[in-house]
Amino acid sequence: MNALPAPHRPGPLPTRMQLEDGRLRHLLTIEGLGRPLIEQILDNAESFAGMNDQGVKKLPLLRGKTVANLFFEASTRTRTTFELAAKRLSADVLSLNMNASATTKGETLLDTLRNLEAMQCDMFVVRHADSGAAHFIARHVAPHISVLNAGDGRHAHPTQALLDVFTIRRHKGELSKLRVAIVGDVLHSRVARSQIHALNTLATGEVRVIGPRTLLPAAVEQLGVQVYHNMEQGLKDVDVIIMLRLQKERMQGAFIPSEHEYFQRYGLDARRLALAHPEAIVMHPGPANRGVEIASEVADGPHSVILRQVTYGLSVRMAVMSMVMGVNPQVRA
């Protein structure tokens, strides 16, 4: 897009940008969010989770508000869940294909934002291939508009991380007693970075990353994780396994010999799953590549909570949307 003037990296003060008088105004990254605020988001999501079993899955909390989904990068699952979450809160929703918008005709992103502001939008949900895009937009929007980062480059995907920890808390309970393994392409994964920040902020017992040296960031242990390059050693006795997709669209060069060999060394099959705790759960932020990072017998097996993650994503996004709009959910599970 003709949009982001260089440099477009994440700003240095996400905490100040995200919070206003202690209240969540934007959600751009997990970094800088304290444990009480993350727990408040999870608790509010718990309140919304009970709606999934109700006949009428709608609340009037955002009636009169307008949410604009600005997706500069292809997405189906994330865009759909944000849209559905907003509609369940009774907001009006605009889902715009920004790759076919006026920005492709020469209009700057700021001009596009000004036009959307003139349409009285209240919230922008932003996905972009460039790290820092959501921060850039948050710096330039009108004071009444909130910005939610739906994934920016290799930087952050905060709502995915929140729904992941929500899933872990629901299925495994107290995080301080758990060993969590994040497996695969951590280097290119905005999800993994946000997961690590969220898990450590919530004082998870142990966070491990497992992968080949080529797919782990330099000095990744400084993020507060234990590093394993051997899959069998890394999975031993873990309570939660989070598999990551190979981000081939972000790779420039050969990071693995072949997908077949990658699966042989780092794919999760039933034999390797047996090394984990007998009641371990298996997660994947999706979309999952069967036979590349995970075998179908595991993806569809009894330990998998992958589809539950999708369901919980609605509740977490409803919680975040209501909180940035200053609305307290008055529902019960």
Q: Residue 224, by phi and psi: left (phi above 0), alpha (psi -120 to 50) or beta?
A: left
331 lies in some domain = no
Residue 189 is predicted with a pLDDT of 93
Averaged in consecutive runs of 10 residues, what is the pLDDT profile of the chain (333 residues)? 42 69 93 94 93 82 96 89 96 83 69 88 94 92 95 94 98 97 95 97 98 94 96 98 84 74 95 98 92 96 97 96 87 43
Count of the separate structural domains present in the chain: 2
Cβ(67)–Cβ(93) below 8 Å: yes
CA distance 294 to 186: 15
Residue 240 is predicted with a pLDDT of 98
Diameter of the chain measured on Cα atoms: 57
Residue 157 appears among annotated catalytic residues: yes
302 annotated to a ligand binding site: no
How far is CA 93 from each of CA 57, 97, 159, 248, 276, rounded to the nearest angstrom?
Answer: 17, 13, 18, 32, 43
Residue 35 appears among annotated catalytic residues: no
Query: Is the domain of 114 the same as that of 237?
Result: no
Given the residues 77, 114, 171, 308, the one annotated as active site? 77
Residue 127 appears among annotated catalytic residues: yes
Whether cis (ω within 30° of 0) applies to the bond prior to 7 is yes
Q: Which two tokens stand for residue 237?
A: 């006795």
Residue 171 appears among annotated catalytic residues: no
Residue 171 is predicted with a pLDDT of 98
127 annotated to a ligand binding site: yes
Long-range contacts of 216-221 (CB under 8 A, 24+ apart): 216/186, 216/187, 217/186, 217/187, 220/186
Residue 57 appears among annotated catalytic residues: no
Type of residue numbered 273: L
Residue 12 is predicted with a pLDDT of 47
Query: Is the domain of 128 the same as that of 196?
Result: no
51 lies in some domain = yes
Residue 8 is predicted with a pLDDT of 43
This prediction has a pTM of 0.91
The residue among 298, 244, 296 whose CA lies nearest residue 270 is 298
Query: Is the domain of 163 the same as that of 199?
Result: yes
How far is CA 26 from each of CA 51, 116, 247, 311, rounded to the nearest angstrom?
Answer: 25, 17, 27, 23
By residue range, what is the domain housing residue 101?
19-156+312-325
Cβ(304)–Cβ(286) below 8 Å: no
Residue 330 is predicted with a pLDDT of 57
Residue 316 is predicted with a pLDDT of 97
88 annotated to a ligand binding site: no
Residue 146 is predicted with a pLDDT of 97
Query: Is the domain of 106 the same as that of 165?
Result: no
Given the residues 25, 128, 154, 157, the one annotated as active site? 157
169 annotated to a ligand binding site: no
